[in-house]
């Protein structure tokens, strides 16, 4: 099962056919060719940054340190493969789309079915996080610690 984040277009109220389903998770093609993957998804600035980082790795790595250059290049790809869906989500939010929620499904088709059936985990509103910032924390309840368990025997 995969998690799909659901984004509704600007101005849409309720469930709409224009909703976009974004699969959360690792993207193998982003690991192999991070700059091209970012370009394919129209993430221009991150694509340029990834390309420049790879060029810098190739130029700055010493000739005898080929494993170091490959490791750094793999690290860039791994970062893009793991964070690529988050970059896509941020781009959609900047364009005015709002996150309606998320569903766990086998594929995008099942995610659509669950979305239209109303089986969606509602996304928290941005104001909910702000309200919790100034709220006092509840007092911690005392509980058993490692030292309490050791002295009990």
8 A C-beta contact, residue 29 and residue 12: no
Domain segments of the chain as ranges: 2-126
pLDDT in tens, 52-64: 999 988 887 766 5
- pTM listed for this prediction: 0.72
pLDDT tier, 68 (very low <50, low <70, confident <90, very high otherwise): confident
At 135, is the pLDDT very low, low, confident or very high (cuts 50, 70, 90)? low
Task: Give the C-alpha distances (Å, rounded to integers) separating 53 from 30, 41, 72, 113.
Answer: 15, 19, 9, 41
- Taking the C-alpha atoms of 85, 90, 91 and 94 in order, what is their torsion angle to the nearest 10 degrees? 160
The pLDDT tens digits of the residues spanning 81-113 come to: 999 999 999 999 999 999 988 999 999 999 999
What is the Cα–Cα distance from 88 to 99, expressed in whole angstroms? 12
């Amino acid at each position: 099962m995969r998690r799909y984040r659901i984004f509704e277009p600007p101005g849409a109220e309720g469930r709409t056919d224009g909703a976009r389903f974004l699969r959360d998770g690792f993207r193998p093609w982003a690991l192999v060719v991070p700059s091209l993957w970012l370009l394919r998804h129209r993430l221009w600035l991150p694509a340029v940054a990834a390309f420049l980082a790879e060029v810098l790795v190739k130029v700055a790595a010493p000739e005898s340190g080929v494993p170091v250059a490959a490791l750094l290049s793999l690290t860039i790809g791994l970062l893009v493969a793991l964070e690529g869906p988050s970059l896509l989500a941020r781009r959609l939010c900047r364009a005015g789309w709002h996150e309606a929620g998320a569903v766990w499904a086998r594929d995008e088709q099942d995610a659509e079915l669950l979305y239209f059936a109303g089986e969606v985990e509602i996304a928290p509103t941005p104001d909910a996080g702000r309200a919790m910032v100034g709220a006092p924390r509840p007092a911690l309840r005392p509980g058993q610690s490692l030292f309490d368990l050791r002295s009990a025997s």
